[in-house]
Amino acid sequence: MILVKENMVFGRFILKFSSRFLAASCLSMLTAGAHALSDQAATEQVQAQLIASVDAVHPGQKILLGVQQRIAPHWHTYWINPGDSGISTKIVWNLPQGATAGEIQWPHPSHFTMGPVTNYGYENEVTLLSEISIPDSEKTGGTFPIKAKVSWLVCQEICIPQQVQLSLALPIVASTQPVQINPLIEKARTALPLASPWPVTVQSAKDGLWLKIEGAELRSANVKEIWFYADRWGKILHSAPQLQKIRGQSVLLKLQPGEEPPSEDGSLTGVLVVSEMTPDGLRERSFIVDSVVKKIALDIAETSVAAPVQASKSTLGFASALLLALLGGVILNLMPCVFPVLSIKALSLLLQTHQTPLQTRLHGLTYTAGILSSFALLGVILSVLKAGGAQAGWGFQFQSPSFVLAMAYLMFAVGLSLSGEFSIGASIAGVGSSLAERKGYSGSFFLLAYWRHLSPRPALRHSWVVRSVTP
């Protein structure tokens, strides 16, 4: 039996560092709360501003408010349907009594692809509009205060959840007094999808879904791309290329059904974005799609001529993907949170030297089966959660500020435990250890599954026990 005691000096260092960190965090929060709210706020990646369509309001009037985001290069925020991953921007309004706010009016998005993942969102700049109704009871001569709590997820190679609070106060004037129109709001309105000037239908065939647009002008050589964005997750496969085909005076886009495809006679809603070259450069126009899915017997692919469409294609082959996965596994196993766990298996192998080669191989096979089975079980649990509508994903909880804060307090508690302030009960620290400490092949099966998934990390345990393995 090998016993590794906790390092008291390291524990005291964690305690001192955690105490100072929490004190600095509290002071920072108090300092931030002392500042008055403004119509502007900024993070390292996003500058946000609250703007209004007018510089003054009338009682009983409807106005537009916009949250303008200026996004750092190579970063992006998300649309109402973020795609394969991400979280759409949310706005919580705090308005005077009697005033109401409408839903966000989403401009058309762009699509961003990284490997097999495609997201829908915005880069550089976007303004999210909402309609605000001013109550008739508002008195002229006063002010109409507006507050908004805006939260978003901004991503590049990593994703950062962020939140700001904005405020704006507009003077209330008589209905006879003219007001000035804000050009920023007018510019934002031009990015909103319009009603389609062409009939748009959705057809379900043997080879997938087809979006049919009856517009001869879309066959022009100036049209560089036609792309459909479903506004609900799972209706189509976001990462699939949207093959364009011409049939008569119509243009058809092939859509790959997603995990929750629209049923026959169900509806498919979203935005159709047309990119075309003009004398002033590339211009994008967007149109609302709300069509009922109709089944057709004819396979469209057999009667159409394909036309190329810009689409992202993966050039990563199976062998390259397998090699990269192996390299990622090696790097992962060298990390401090994993490498000590592997030493437990290495030490157990040393205790198997008295066994026959066949017994050693069988232990290795059962050990491998335990690893694969435990991860397969986690995959099944995740799939069941997602099938039930839960927004679950590997490590996605670390994009939640509440979860990250809870982990910070957990690490603080670990520091207190290592410094001897209190100790975690053996019943908690040893949950599931009886499975891993069994003798024979069943012990090998549960060994790494326990240490990898159920036990506290080795740095959190008061001791390690390396057992002898017998057949």
Over residues 196-251, the pLDDT tens digits come to 998 999 988 877 889 999 887 787 778 888 999 999 998 999 988 898 888 877 88
Topology adopted by domain 44-189: Immunoglobulin-like (2.60.40)
Sequence-distant (6+) residues with CB within 8 A of 98 are 135, 137, 138
Where in the chain are the domains?
44-189, 194-307, 318-460
Give me the count of residues in the chain.
471
pLDDT digits (tens, 9 = 90+) for 310-332: 444 455 678 888 888 888 888 87
Please tell me the pTM assigned to this model. 0.63
| Token duo for residue 60 | 């009983």
pLDDT at residue 40 above 60? yes
**Please, what's the largest Cα pairwise distance for the chain?**
98
Taking the C-alpha atoms of residue 33 and residue 168, their distance in angstroms, rounded to an integer, is: 17
Say if residues 106 and 78 touch (Cβ distance below 8 Å).
no
Say if residues 258 and 236 touch (Cβ distance below 8 Å).
yes
The CATH number of the structural domain formed by 194-307 is 2.60.40
Q: Do domains 44-189 and 194-307 have the same CATH topology?
A: yes
What is the mean pLDDT of the segment spanning 149-153? 95
What pLDDT is stored for residue 1 in this prediction? 37
